[in-house]
Amino acid sequence: MLADQQILRIPGPSPIPPSVQRAMSQPMIGHRGLETKELLQQIKPELKTVFGTKQDILLIAGSGTAGLEAAVVNTVSSGDEVLVIVTGAFGDRFAKICNEYKTNVHRIDTAWGEAVNPDVIKDYLKSHSGIKAVFATYCETSTGVLNPVDEIAKIVHTYSDALFIVDGVSCVGGVKTKMDDWGIDILVTGSQKAMMLPAGLTFLAVSQRAWKTIEENKQSRFYLDLKKYRDNLAKDSTPFTPALSLLFGLKQVLKLMQEEGLEEVYKRHQLMKEMTRSAFRALQIPLLTNDTAASPTVTAIKPGDFRAEDLRRLLKKDFNLSVAGGQQHMKGEIFRIGHMGYCSPADVLQVISIIEIGIKKAGGNIELGKGTRAAQEIYLG
């Protein structure tokens, strides 16, 4: 094993393209100068395409959780009724944020590994007319589930006057996203997942409908006040010091996406998902999610005859390959493979081949090469 060779296949942070690393190493510039103004002018239109919106995308120096909290604190106040759809650890995080601001939290919980049934939301909204905002997770990173946010949005707007607010942190940039067409009111993502940047930048897109609510909301906020970001972005500026190195990198990320073409980006992620899932099926190792609910950016596996943590330890020790473990009650029960952003089918083949060795060493009863071959056949097919 080479000490400097890191194989990072967790669902974020994800690897950084070399050209993006070079872009981020540019000399620092004045954040109130003409260069930063021009940088924001170049970034703004390309980001809209990734989100599928005509709205400007707000840029906040902070993690994805800062974006989730901003979505809460700007739209609801203490005592407001909100509905949080919880399909894993990050849906639960949305609920915890709402609880911190003393809202009246209603929850729809699903079994981990399952996507939410939109009909359950419809029935809930029909019997709870006071819901002011519905919070959902597009890709639930902890389980590898992709929720049908397009269907949920239709239901929210048909059966309530609530805002529909979506955590897209682990999938925007890697899966089809049509914020305006679907009717999402606020969409949040972070820099360190499919957006191929280090952690430290959060993005929010806000509908005109949501802006009306934000303008009327009396909840106190300062750094996370989205009106400040909107008003400054209109002047190609930011209300507070921006993460300039990440903005340099973001410009290059958007160039890479444009050159590949967003539809091709989505096809690549779909292919990597199918290769990964086919490999573990061939090895007869259970997947946590079914095909319909599976995310193109992360796959969760629930082994039976070997321990997930033993596998993770062996992969790290022998190959410096990092895959993620489970969270909360799934800790030690599953492992998760990230295939998002700067990741290709070649990377998937490498990872599957290495994991097969790790499974053997961890005591799993598999035939070496069977998973790799299955992934190869998906690629060729």
Smallest CA-to-CA distance from 249 within 204, 296, 200 is with: 200
Instruction: List, in order, residues 6 or more apart from 38 with CB less than 8 Å away.
Output: 236
Q: Taking the CA of residue 258 as centre, how many other CA atoms within 13 Å lie in the half-sphere pointing to its CB?
A: 13
Q: Is 230 annotated as a binding residue?
A: no
Contact between residue 144 and residue 288 where contact means Cβ atoms under 8 Å apart: yes
Distance of CA 364 to the CA centre of its chain: 31
DSSP 328: G
Calpha distance 306→297 (Å, rounded): 24
Smallest CA-to-CA distance from 348 within 278, 244, 290 is with: 278
Calpha distance 24→201 (Å, rounded): 13
Calpha distance 95→84 (Å, rounded): 6
The crossing angle, in degrees rounded to 10, of helices 118-127 and 149-159 is 20
Which parts of 298-338 fold into alpha helices (H)? 308-319
Binding residues: 336
- Binding region for substrate: 336
